[in-house]
Structure 1
Amino acid sequence: EYGVGSGIVWDSEAASEYHECLAKAQILLTPAPPEFQLLETMRWHPRKGYFLLEQHLRRLRHSADYFGFALDEAHIRALLAQVAAPHPLRVRLLLSRDGTARVEHTPLPPSPPLWRVALAPEPIDPNHVFLYHKTTHRAVYERARASCPHCDDVILWNPQGEITESTLANVVVQLQGKLYTPPIRCGLLGGVYREYLLARGTITERTLTKEELARADAIYLINSVRGWMRARLE
């Protein structure tokens, strides 16, 4: 049983009061948020350690605050410090809502010399909150990848026809000798390597359309694990 109501005054109209009650009851029709974990994927080197570790932890803190996750940073740093291997690793840090943290790692896989990419068949919803936080809830990305199984990755775009990101990385486009990446407001995750390159002035934020992507001098995918990946639009 769930009760709703509205304040009735002398000039109230029955129809508008009824619609107000329906609006208040919409919460009953809203799907429960999915169970998910916060996620950071990092590159570890036996001599250099973690690449951009502080930026990864800062992003994790921001998402933990946003979603109300418990976070013991000292414990997380201790877990990360236990990682060791004679070769570079791809390290995944997962954080549950109750603060439980887990670290997984695998050898850093080789990267193809040229990534074959395609545009997603449909736009993303830029109001979807999980686009702006790195989590294990990746339904948007999984649908896009499934639509183009012959490609190495898929590039997403919003209802305005603006490029956002790929399912694995941020996107950089070279136009007339300059390197541009879409602004976060287009609907994308702020990658830590993207942030690093913006701070150094290597890349610049600019809205990029699908048409500009098609005629770009060069297309790159970037993330903190693999760095720069040259891509070709299929």
Structure 2
Amino acid sequence: MAEWYEQSFGEDYLLVYKHRDFQGAYQEVQKMISWLKLPQGSSVLDLCCGMGRHSLALADAGYQVTGVDLSNVLLREARAADSEGRVSWHQGDMREVPLDESYDAVMNLFTSFGYFEQDEEQLKVLKEIYRLLKPGGRFIIDYLNPAYVAAHLVPHSSREDEGNWIEEHRVIEDGFVKKQIAIRSAASVTATEAEPARVYHERVKLYPYEKFRGLLEQAGLSVEQVHGSYNEDQYIEDASPRMIFVGVRA
């Protein structure tokens, strides 16, 4: 049976998350550049690059960018947006990245972490980040804040988009935040016999700050700053929506 992350990042993902725009990515990249203090021309790996929004913004800012993602659908979109071929795109699993190069910086953004059942599997990802960094190379890992997620969880939401009815159910269970997404045509919702929904699942392990920091240190990654959002604010456990770790390969 395929894992959820092998199934959920397909064509329907483009519909559910189409609100993630390129303009927001450009603003976030400007913050990341200021945190990393990397000179233009530095090599950057965007690990779990998705549709390539941040990769392309980094390329526009003068960096040599490589993007890696497991989803061929998302990589197709990334390549389509990169008509000049400025970014080197690769398909691969973040636990075993099919690259031998090392980079000045590695980024793992928007909670592209915590997908696996076991801590050992998450640690493989962090050790890959270590391996892919040059000595003294810098990293950013942008992860959710578990305390904020617990306080602000919306158990159910629904909306219509492009003739589709999208329902999302969320729950915190067994140390994970879990989401079920069901999609069917909007017309069928009021029909006598509703069509079967296309159902997807997402699951992210909830690592509190100290536990996450311990995993980073175990992998040889030293934390220098922790931000609570892209507005430069420091991380506050009960208030910050994100935990954005910025640091260096020890």
The two structures have a TM-score, normalised by structure 2, of 0.24
The two structures have a TM-score, normalised by structure 1, of 0.25
Greater strand fraction, Structure 1 or Structure 2 = 2
Determine which structure has more spread, i.e. the larger CA radius of gyration: 1
